[in-house]
Structure 1
Amino acid sequence: MERGSSPSESKKRFRALLVGGSPEPSSLELVRELAHDSEMVVGVDRGANVCLAAGIVCDLFVGDADTISPEALAWVKKTCPDEELFDTEKYATDLALAFLSLRERYGLSASGVTQLRATGNKVFGERDAVSNATLAGQVAVSCASGGKPDHLLGVFGTLAENADLSPVLIEDNFECHILSPGGTKDWEIASTYAGSTFSLFALAPDTYVSEQGMEWDLERCYIPVLSDLGVSNVIGPDGARCTCHSGVAAAFLR
């Protein structure tokens, strides 16, 4: 069994990989590749089934164990060094709680008024103005977008709320970077992706973006929330760059 690399190792692309519980997960090959390039791996409920099938030992398991298989749950309890099990009567998704668990374990402070309650009497975090002093690097998410469109919208809400952690959603057929001034605001796309489709959606009010090196360039353009204004651009022959000047944007490459 393979494990995510030790946090002491450097030059990994991702600080953490969250393997989600989508009923239509990405390929085991992709998950193995992402795990190899991450300092730690988090199995998010049914996502532990994928980790087991891929031969990847989770560093942390998070969830209410309502979708994980009995075999995978027994494996998690035997092999996973850390876990957070929640009551099924909770008011947050497993993915949202996984992000909160990452913040707690790496000493991130939080302030604000938006609270996510995991159980009736345990508050796991406040979401506004979160410091990103300790958890450096991008956080990858996979196996989170297939099979349930309602959950998919919730996934993007969670990614937007955690934009300061520079999350990247990577599935078999696309890669989506969450861009924001508080996290990663620029995405440089290499010329090897020339001709690829690039789409962008605003996930927060007052989102302004620029796109350079594409078939249709934008300069500090206002994008309304969930507007289709940024759909189906094309990467130019010399590569491209996307910048989020304000707000939060979901930028897709496929």
Structure 2
Amino acid sequence: METVNPMKPRTVIFTGGSLTITPVVSDNDYVIAADSGYDHARSHGIAVDLLIGDLDSISPESLEDARQRGVPIERFPQDKDASDLELALRVASSAEATEVTVYGGEAGRIDHLIAIALSLTAAEWRDLSITWHTGTGSLHPVLDTKPLVFDAVPGTVVSIIPVGPASGVTTTGLRWQLDDAQLVRGTTHGISNIVDATPCTITVSDGALLVTIGTQQEQS
């Protein structure tokens, strides 16, 4: 894979699947389209810096658009060991991005949805701050190298899901605080917490978490 160094701190990745929200992209962002993610970027009038993947799901019109615009294309065989999103994340990591925002993949095959969520917790991305925007909120991997700090309207629903055993889980700003807690795989102990005050923080000393921040607030 060609190493790309856009010298831009944030990389925005458009992946396949549905996209029901309006993406927010600035001129300072490096934009990668993972296969049919190019369709999403194109439909929102967003210029793409790199198209990557096996290109088995991008529309013919979008592929021709990319070629006409001179967008660099890295095409991989369909028989590969990584998803198109993972290929895009590798580019972002090699380019020394510090922040990655993912759009798309909101619905579709359940194996794809689970794979996207779990892939974001890979140790390979431990130096990246990753946010996956979905139609019902956002998802954030939290590893021991990087705490999650965020602002949200009081009443916003936050869920903390361990990916395997997670120890030293500590929160601030949430109604039901965790203090050096241990969460085991399969537990629902961290589900449906509520923002009480901001900023909120979530840290883990060992292990990995998936944190969802909803767009819906607690029903009064």
TM-score w.r.t. length of structure 1: 0.75
Matched, 1:18 2:18: no
Matched, 1:160 2:105: no
Matched, 1:172 2:114: no
Gap change, CA 1:207 and 1:96, over 3 Å in 2:
farther
Per-residue deviation, residues 62-91 of structure 1 (Å, max 9, x unmatched): 111111000001111222532210111112
Return the alpha-carbon distance in structure 1 between the equivalents of residues 28 and 164 of structure 2: 28
* 1:191-230 to 2 correspondences below 5 Å: 192-230=152-190
Gap change, CA 1:168 and 1:80, over 3 Å in 2:
farther
What is residue 64 of structure 1 aligned with on the other side? 54
Superposed displacement of residue 245, structure 1: 2.0
What is residue 211 of structure 2 aligned with on the other side? 251
The code of the aligned residue for 1:20 comes to: T
What is residue 48 of structure 1 aligned with on the other side? 38
Matched, 1:83 2:78: no
8 Å Cα contact 1:58-1:80 kept in structure 2: no
Unaligned runs of 5+ in 2: 215-220
Greater RCO structure (CA 8 Å; 6+ sep): 2
- Runs (4+) of structure 1 moved beyond 3 Å? 6-9, 204-208
Describe the SS at the equivalent of 1:57: coil
What is residue 127 of structure 1 aligned with on the other side? none
Matched, 1:93 2:83: yes
Return the alpha-carbon distance in structure 1 between the equivalents of residues 191 and 50 of structure 2: 36
Kindly indicate which of the two structures has a greater share of residues assigned to helix: 1
Unaligned runs of 5+ in 1: 1-5, 107-134
Return the alpha-carbon distance in structure 2 between the equivalents of residues 72 and 142 of structure 1: 17
The code of the aligned residue for 1:180 comes to: L
Superposed displacement of residue 238, structure 1: 4.7
Return the alpha-carbon distance in structure 1 between the equivalents of residues 47 and 6 of structure 2: 15
Which has the higher mean CA deviation after the structures are superposed, 201-210 or 216-225?
Answer: 201-210
Matched, 1:186 2:148: yes
Return the alpha-carbon distance in structure 1 between the equivalents of residues 36 and 84 of structure 2: 10
Matched, 1:138 2:133: no
The code of the aligned residue for 1:168 comes to: T
What is residue 218 of structure 2 aligned with on the other side? none
Describe the SS at the equivalent of 2:16: coil
Superposed displacement of residue 19, structure 1: 0.5
Per-residue deviation, residues 154-205 of structure 1 (Å, max 9, x unmatched): 10221011233121111232012211123x2232x33x51010010111243
Gap change, CA 1:7 and 1:223, over 3 Å in 2:
same
Return the alpha-carbon distance in structure 2 between the equivalents of residues 25 and 220 of structure 1: 37
8 Å Cα contact 2:159-2:213 kept in structure 1: yes
In the alignment of these two chains, the number of paired residues is 208
TM-score w.r.t. length of structure 2: 0.86
